[in-house]
Structure formats: C-alpha cells, structure tokens
Structure 1
Amino acid sequence: MDIRAIYELKRQGFLIGYTQNPERFDDALAFAYENRLAPVFHEVILRETHGEDPFKDAYAVSAEFMNEVLDYIDERWRDKKFDELGFYDLESHFGGHHAKRIELIHTIEYARITGRFDDDLYNAVESNAPSEANSIDSTFSANDVNFN
C-alpha cells in the first residue's frame, strides 16, 4: 500500500477520534492533520522510532519548509525585529508573491495554536498581510474539522 494512502487512513482515523472526543486529543495536532502539515511539534516518538518521519512524503507542507519558516521567525522574534515579520515580508522571503502563501499561513497558525511565540509576533505578521492572513487563529476545535 502507498505511504500516502496509509497516511490518509491514519489522518481520517485521528480526525474522527478528535471530532468524537476532542478532550483526548491535542488541538494543534488535529490542525496539522486537518491541513496535512508535518507535525513538527508532535509525534516525536514516531520520528525517533523510525529514524525519520515515515509519512514525510505525504504531507502537503513539509517539515523542512515548516522548520525553515519557524527558525526564521524565531530568530527575528527573539531579536525583536518585528518589522521583518509582516506576512508579505515572510512571503517574499519564502518564495515570493503567492508562491507558498497557504503553506506559510498554515505553518504560522500551527505555531500559534501550539502556543509558540507571543501576541507581538502575530500582530506583526497580521499588520502587513492579505485578507486570508490578517487574522491568524489561535485555536482549533472539533467543529473546525472538515473532511476533505
């Protein structure tokens, strides 16, 4: 069976469980599954057991991209270089206008749902952003799951 098919079965099973008993699951991990993101802040045991993430080729947004974005943001956040963290600035740095817009939005939103960074960072991102990124959610719930 193809690894993508196995991932989709795992994803669907996780999201079904999450919608039925959300208190037993992590909201940020559910967000990652919902959007097919590499769960860079979760499932460490899976990566440690296999030496790498066995589903790395199934994600719509790779761990490499997410880690690159998050490291870049983290460095500027720690140095309080908020003027470099506007969404359009980030978008330009990571591929140009519209090149990776959705991937960038989902990566930033995943970080926010996990509680990474602070409001100053997200205010900086949202202050210079297109409409689809001018309100980066800080929560995710079972009601947000859309089986697509």
Structure 2
Amino acid sequence: MDHQLIALYELKRQSFLIGYIQNPDKFSHALAFAYLNRIEPIFHEGIMKEKYDADPFEEVYFVKANFMDEVYRFLDERNLAGDYDAIGFYKLEEKFGGYKANRIELIYTLEYARIDGRFSAEVWNAVVRDAPSEANHLKSIFSPKDVYFD
C-alpha cells in the first residue's frame, strides 16, 4: 500500500475530526463516524467519485464500498419484501463472510447507515433482535464526545 496515500488520508481524517469536534453542527455526524472508523463514506463525498471517477483513498479504507453496498442492497431488498427474519445480525454475518469473519466491518457498516438515518426502526429491530452482545446496541447517534484519536 502507498505510504504517502495513507499519510495524506490520515491528515485529512484528523483535520476533519478536529473540525467536527470544534463545530459539530457544521458536519454530518455519520460522516464523522466514517472518518473515525476509516470506513468508506459512501453516503457522503460523492463529488470525489464524480470528479475523479473513484475515491482517491479507496485502498486506505478499513471497510470498502463494495462490501457496504452489498449489505445495504440486501437490507433494502429484505425490507421491501417484509422478510425481517433474514436480516438478523447472525444471518447477515453468515451471508457476508461467515462466522466472525467480517463482524467489525458489518457492525461499522450498519452503524454508519443507522447514524445517517437510513432504514426504518423495523429493520434495526430485526437486525439487533438476533445479535451478539457487541452488535445488539448498534449506534444510532454520534457526537464529538465519541471522537478519540488513536
């Protein structure tokens, strides 16, 4: 991986989060969550993909857009079909990588969407109804108090 790209992303990440801490009302809480956790901000910053045909930091993200798109598409399809049994956390985990293979990525993907106000309460209730302890309280809010630098 390109070390200069990583350094540039980390500089952007820290600058964004410092701005968010200082003026949270000027920033998207979901976008701040994405930056904190190094996940691809697919609901935000679409202008980069339009302008450059790709996100220049694509290879740096811990959770990639392709994975997130698959999860969101499946949630949307099952929601429209009223098939809430299919979207319990353990079933999602099995579908998207198997037992514990992508657990953190799945949790971050779900929390990003929930913080951004995506999907209904019915969807979120179905997801957490069948979830391990680390996923049965998916974040629905994010604030500057949640920001820490590692």
Calculate the TM-score normalised by the size of structure 2: 0.97
1:133 aligned partner, one-letter code: A
Q: Secondary structure, in 3 states, of the residue corresponding to 2:32? A: helix
Question: How many equivalent pairs are there?
Answer: 148
Q: Which of 37, 49, 62 pairs up with 2:51? A: 49
Structure 1 segments of 4+ aligned residues over 3 angstroms from their partners: none
Counterpart in the other structure of 1:40: 42
Q: Which of 72, 75, 78 pairs up with 2:74? A: 72
What are the superposed Cα offsets for residues 57-85 of structure 1, whole Å, 9 maximum, x if unpaired? Answer: 01000011111111111111111110000
Counterpart in the other structure of 1:111: 113
Q: Where does the alignment leave 5 or more consecutive residues of structure 1 unmatched? A: none
2:93 aligned partner, one-letter code: E
Q: Pairwise CA RMSD of aligned residues? A: 0.8
Calculate the TM-score normalised by the size of structure 1: 0.98
Q: Where does the alignment leave 5 or more consecutive residues of structure 2 unmatched? A: none
Identity of aligned pairs, percent? 55
- Cα deviation, residue 137, structure 1: 1.3
1:59 aligned partner, one-letter code: Y
Does residue 1:134 correspond to 2:136, yes or no? yes
Counterpart in the other structure of 1:85: 87
